Chain A
């Protein structure tokens, strides 16, 4: 109590007049800080200005190189081969027009080039942009909203989707597979322990076995393994900008993405919050509004148009929008160019021999108890000019 009294006495004795100069200085200092904060608020958030700083091994530890898988052998090789045939088989759609390859074209980096959204078996537009199938096995979940836990779980989705391949159900898919003597033979060989191997599980497992091997190691992987020459100076500069601006917060790991969900529009709302709500449409949870699986950046320069609705036409614009909405940065044109230069180093060669379509062939099969010729050509519809 007596302490308090002394404090009050101090305050009473404290001459405001005598300390006016001091308080003026304090207020002036506060004002100066305020002006600085105001100024920095108005200015764009600038990036660390050390363009030639070394890329530390610590930063690179957020990534891991892609190892090419050893060639499949034995039963696994049979599954891969079966999966490849199924991938190209248009009979897995309602009107024999559409295969996996129709929208995820293996010769075109696994996408439907130039299409914002792909058109399904009867030309109706799909809901979202066709993501690339290359390296998709690296992802922790599949689809833009992650509604499938694995490649196998993903594979049956489009077959039965009323817009995509339009098969009425698993029975229809299995009836077709059953009718194809080659498939039945291959399934028996690939799943020798099973009494009836003609199951949806095995069909999707075979497709997944093929898709899981669609990996595209690139120059970036050589760089990660220690070859400094694998990236050009421009690409390394791009990597520095990529790291400085914080792209790697989400686009890290073996695939540079594909291992988390993120909200589209963190610092600034995405302009369209209505037509696609992202994961919220799946989970019905408000907190999932505009959350999408972070896409992989491998081959990203080749997989346009970009984003879930394919509305962005150039990679430069895609990078600029990411800076603006996800990082709160107005990337300059030269920073964007730099980042795109780096992204180019993530493009790996397409494994041509591995994706070679199965030979054009007709086989005899039984449908509805009758012997019929089945056309196993890649895309019979293409000849009719569809």
Chain B
């Protein structure tokens, strides 16, 4: 009986070791600093602190991956969470957002923190202290509210032609090359 237990254990260990071949790719490519939310929106140091402590692990390309992030099966979970997280919200890549979307994403982040949906419960469990305190959430939310409301500007977006605003067409620029 004991022998079967041993064999089973060894088999399972071998099985787990074999699965370590599945190397995660976190795509933590460095991005230009001017693309980050810090450079784009100039949040206060308190807001920056909240973003770094509560959000950056999954919503930036500047995350520090813990050791278990390279060990199967947790690597799988981390990889999928970070991928999904960054697809929806990436604080390292803020230049792709217009003012309206920039504000929407921040207000949504505020709502997620207020409703304690973010950081996700299992992240909070593994990282005690990662959840923002109520006063931090309040500070974040009032900052998000203060962001320019793109909608008003959007209504005026048929502004007069400015000389530098027309870039060459792709077809033309190809010919130049």
Contacts and interface: CB of A to CB of B under 8 A. Distances in A.
Nearest to A161: B169
B9 A23 contact: yes
11 contacts: A147-B169, A150-B157, A153-B162, A155-B161, A200-B161, A254-B154, A258-B98, A259-B98, A267-B83, A282-B173, A326-B87
Contacts of A58: 111, 115
Contacts of A235: none
A246 B171 CA distance: 34
Interface in B1-55: 2, 5-6, 8-9, 12-13, 15-16, 19, 31
Contacts of B100: 140, 253-254, 259
A71 interface: no
A7 to B, nearest CB: 21
A178 B167 CA distance: 26
B107 A30 contact: no
Contacts of B16: 30-31, 34
Contact of A140 (B73, B99, B107): B99
* Interface of B: prevailing SS: helix
A153 B166 contact: yes
B160 A260 contact: no
A204 B163 CA distance: 12
Contacts of B160: 150, 152, 201, 204-205
A249 B169 contact: no
B108 to A, nearest CB: 6
B63 interface: no
A33 B73 contact: yes
A28 B9 CA distance: 8
A37 interface: yes
Given A24-B8, A31-B16, A201-B160, A267 B87 contact: yes
A34 B158 contact: no
A61 B6 CA distance: 58
B97 interface: yes
A151 B157 contact: yes
B87 A152 contact: no
Interface in B69-84: 72-73, 76-77, 83-84
Contact of B108 (A41, A62, A151, A259): A62
Given A253-B150, A262-B96, A326-B87, 8 more contacts: A30-B12, A31-B16, A34-B15, A38-B73, A127-B171, A205-B161, A253-B101, A282-B167
A19 to B, nearest CB: 12
A100 B54 CA distance: 49
Given A31-B12, A200-B161, A291-B96, A147 B154 contact: no
B146 interface: no
